[in-house]
Amino acid sequence: MTPAWDGTAPSPYNPHVLDVSLHGVSYRYESGFELQGVDLTFPKSTHTAIVGPPACGASTLLGLIAGELRPQSGEVRIGTRVVNTLGTSRRPLLWVRAELGLPGRWSVRHALVNAVRSRSLDRPDRFHELTLAASKWQLELLLDRRLSTLSATERLRVHLARIELLRPGILVADRLFDHAAPTARIGMADELYRLLRVTGATVISAPSSREELGMTDAVVVLDGGKVVQSGGAPQLFAAPGTEAAAIATGEVNVIPVRIEGTEVESIIGRWHIDQPPFSGNGVALVRPEEFVVAGPGEDSDLIFGIEEAWFDSGRWVARGLLTGGHELRVVLSREVAIRKGQLLALRYDPSRFTLLPRPSALQPSAIPSVVPPMRDSR
């Protein structure tokens, strides 16, 4: 059994890998936003992502775990120890954000030496570790450059090399890859998280992109300071229980609906449902992939007007507006002929939609006929 950390180690980086847990943790800002009664456990040697809409409380939650903030109620535990009163430097974890946070006058070599010296290694081993990290993160030609002269992506590579050299047992990362070029972000994230999985680290992160969710073991969705859903990324993608979960795990159309009896009325059409989940106003969460072009002789469910389209990952992504100004996005096969201003007859399977109640959805009298307006978007 891994011994519990006793809180006396002078370095915040501890070779013991521990789990992290929150028990009834709450934190309130003067502005009124509140993280409310959070109960979560992050098992050791797993990677958990914290996601949600803007101002959901993800950064606040990570700050409470890292020791930058102190909970106003509840307990934060690392292993079996309550760490509420301990600052970041006294917790056995590494707290990182997108900013490198080192003096710009330092050289890359200085930054890496500073990191590797925190571990109990002999001088030859330190040199060997530094050489490997510099090679992996493509820093050999930058070692004598000052940090202030590096590009954002180069500084991120220094950041990741330092994380590798520090070898944390627990990594708490808040949007670490925000400043990276989009073309390089996913590759670097994959390389880092593979390394941390090999070393057995416990990782708790707020990702910079949805693609990072595929590198995790679990996803926790926050909305308005509350945990609204948790589970694996594939599970949340296939069956989002809330609008926040659907949006956080991938692009989704939020379509106002109203259910009366077993009939669903919406701005994309009407359909029957045997067991309605609620009665009254709500929304249907619909992935763009759920729409297909009606074939010759097939009835259509929706006439869709294309206002904008682009090619992405071998398929078309098209955007249009429905009556009332509601945007709709659909993903179509590359074989479909697409052009701006085109009208497409689409089919969909409403049994694949997620229906959720929402009091603020459109009233039935406000749900118009399904005829998308055409306008010039030049």
Q: What is the mean pLDDT of residues 37-52?
A: 96
pLDDT at 248: 87
In three-state form (DSSP H/G/I as H, E/B as E, the rest C), the secondary structure along the chain is CCCCCCCCCCCCCCCCCCCEEEEEEEEECCCCCEEEEEEEEECCCCEEEEECCCCCCHHHHHHHHHCCCCCCEEEEEECCEECCCCCHHHCCCEEEECCCCCCCCCEHHHHHHHHHCCCCCCHHHHHHHHHHHHHHCCCHHHCCCEHHHCCHHHHHHHHHHHHHHHCCCEEEEECCCCCCCHHHHHHHHHHHHHHHHHHCCEEEEECCCHHHHHHCCEEEEEECCEEEEEECHHHHHHCCCCHHHHHHCCCCEEEEEEEECCEEEECCEEEECCCCCCCEEEEEEECHHHCEECCCCCCCCEEEECCEEEEECCEEEEEEECCCCCEEEEEECCCCCCCCCCEEEEECCHHHCEEEECCCCCCHHHCCCCCCCCCCCC
* Strand ranges of the sheet holding 34-42, from the earlier edge strand across to the other edge: 34-42, 20-28, 73-78, 81-82
pLDDT at 362: 37
Q: What is the mean pLDDT of residues 79-86?
A: 95
Note the pTM of the prediction, 2 decimals: 0.81
Largest CA distance in the chain: 76
48 or 369, higher pLDDT: 48
pLDDT at 3: 37
Q: What is the mean pLDDT of residues 30-58?
A: 93
Q: pLDDT for 84-121, tens place per residue?
A: 999 999 999 999 999 999 999 999 999 999 999 999 89
Q: pLDDT for 154-206, tens place per residue?
A: 999 999 999 999 999 999 999 999 999 888 999 999 999 999 999 999 999 99
Domain spans of the chain?
A: 20-93+168-233, 251-366
d(CA 34, CA 223): 11
Q: pLDDT for 216-225, tens place per residue?
A: 999 999 999 9
Decide if pLDDT at 226 tops 60: yes
d(CA 191, CA 188): 5
Percent of the chain with pLDDT over 70: 90
Q: For residue 245, give the nearest of 283, 302, 201, 277 by alpha carbon.
A: 283
Q: pLDDT for 111-155, tens place per residue?
A: 999 999 999 899 999 999 999 999 999 999 999 999 999 999 999
Q: pLDDT for 290-307, tens place per residue?
A: 999 998 889 999 999 999
pLDDT at 126: 94
Q: Which fold has domain 20-93+168-233?
A: Rossmann fold (3.40.50)
